[in-house]
Chains A and B, each alone.
Chain A
Amino acid sequence: MHAEDERLLEAFRRGEESAFTALVIKYREAVYRLARRMLGNHEDAADATQEVFIRAYRALARFDGRSKLSTWLYRVTVNLCLDVRARMARAPLAADDEVATEGASGSDLEDEAAARETGRLVRRAIAALPPRQRAMVTLRLYHDLPYQEIARIMGCSEGTVKATMFAALRKLRQALDAHGVRV
């Protein structure tokens, strides 16, 4: 486990509540980003992020440290989001309304509009992936996790993650191609 996480975890176990706050601040963005990509909208992602940290608060005292804290938090997030998606069952995952993307920072209005449209198509293409593929793509591309760690989070083999990633990237490329996004 990461040394800083270990120190914070120890402090939390001793009863220092501020240590838990520090852990939340450290991981909230990453947890939110994963939940947002898996659930497709800000509101559900915000609720899921809250729930992940509430569960962490209850369970951290018993966390044995065999895996990295981040791996454990991502696993909680993925499982929670899969549950939420299963409850939403047949409701299609709509491409959400996020507007602030790194690609939309150009000063030229036309470029900005084009970047926003591309962002919308990217979100729609990701939303069309099956939930587990969406999780793997997010963990690799946005969280930069190695395949081995993604496999631990998803509870499958490294080979499965690689094969799934390949299939997902191909699918995304085809979906973006179909909408005229040059990749």
Chain B
Amino acid sequence: MSLSCREALERATELVTGTLPPDARAPVLAHLAACAACRDEVAALEATAALLRRHAPTAPPGFWPAFMRQLDRRLARERLPAGVRLRRGLGAVRHAWVAAAAVAAAVAGLWAVMRPGPPPSDPDLARVRILVTEAMTTALPALDETLDLWRVGLTEPDVVFTRGGR
């Protein structure tokens, strides 16, 4: 069966890259023997493929030992026990939790201040203060003042407020 130029060129890539099955080679070669235009085209493709193959990229000398050391370091982190990895992961978001806890405490404080009723007793306040950490007051400097306000209550009109209490 004789091939058209189009059919021959469709198989040209397989021919020049060495993947054309032997039984499919004969009709392509027969076409090339009779068609100078296709022959030139295929020869150019073949030369291009050969040129590209000669210029295969290679890693710079000494690269692989450094690569393996770096990969080992990264894999060592992957190999840590799940518990350690979980603790590390939580450590990374610790500041976010502190901020969230501070905001929650502030909201609770404001609610306590705004709610109707008598001011809290000292034991109530002590229980809340235990929950307020230094990190919370750093993240939310007005937290102490909010607790003071809670203690004093908004219902006392003539209170002079100072940081740390009256």
A binding-site residues for B, Cβ under 8 Å = 17, 20-21, 24-25, 28-29, 32-33, 36-37, 42, 45-46, 49-50, 53-54, 57-58, 98, 100-103, 118-119, 122-123, 126, 137, 140-142, 146-147, 162-163, 165-166, 169-170, 172-173, 176, 181, 183
Q: Which residues of A contact B54 (CB under 8 A)?
A: 101-103
Q: Which residues of B contact A123 (CB under 8 A)?
A: 55, 57
Tell me whether B19 and A50 are in contact (CB under 8 A): no
Among B31-39, B64-72, B148-156, the one that faces the other chain is B64-72
- Report the minimal beta-carbon distance from A171 to chain B, rounded to whole angstroms: 10
B binding-site residues for A, Cβ under 8 Å = 9-10, 12-14, 16-17, 19, 44-45, 47-49, 51-61, 63-64, 67-68, 70-71, 74-75, 78-79
Cα–Cα, bound, A176→B48 (Å): 8
Q: Which residues of A contact B64 (CB under 8 A)?
A: 28
A46 CB contact (under 8 Å) in B49, B58, B63 = B63
Query: B61 — nearest CB in chain A belongs to which residue?
Result: A100
Most buried by A among B47, B57, B67: B57
Tell me whether A24 and B51 are in contact (CB under 8 A): no
Answer whether A50 and B48 are a contact pair too, CB < 8 Å, given A141-B17, A142-B56, A166-B13: no
Answer whether A36 and B45 are a contact pair too, CB < 8 Å, given A24-B68, A176-B51: no
Tell me whether B52 and A126 are in contact (CB under 8 A): yes
Q: A17-B79, A33-B56, A176-B51 are in contact. List 6 more A-B contacts (CB 8 A).
A: A17-B75, A54-B78, A57-B78, A100-B58, A172-B52, A183-B51
Query: B66 — nearest CB in chain A belongs to which residue?
Result: A46
Tell me whether B57 and A169 are in contact (CB under 8 A): no
Tell me whether A37 and B57 are in contact (CB under 8 A): yes
Answer whether A172 and B48 are a contact pair too, CB < 8 Å, given A37-B57, A147-B19: yes
- Report the minimal beta-carbon distance from B74 to chain A, rounded to whole angstroms: 6
**Which 5 A-B residue pairs are closest in the complex by CB-CB distance?**
A183-B47, A36-B57, A173-B48, A122-B55, A103-B54
Tell me whether B59 and A50 are in contact (CB under 8 A): no
Q: Which residues of A contact B55 (CB under 8 A)?
A: 101-103, 118-119, 122-123
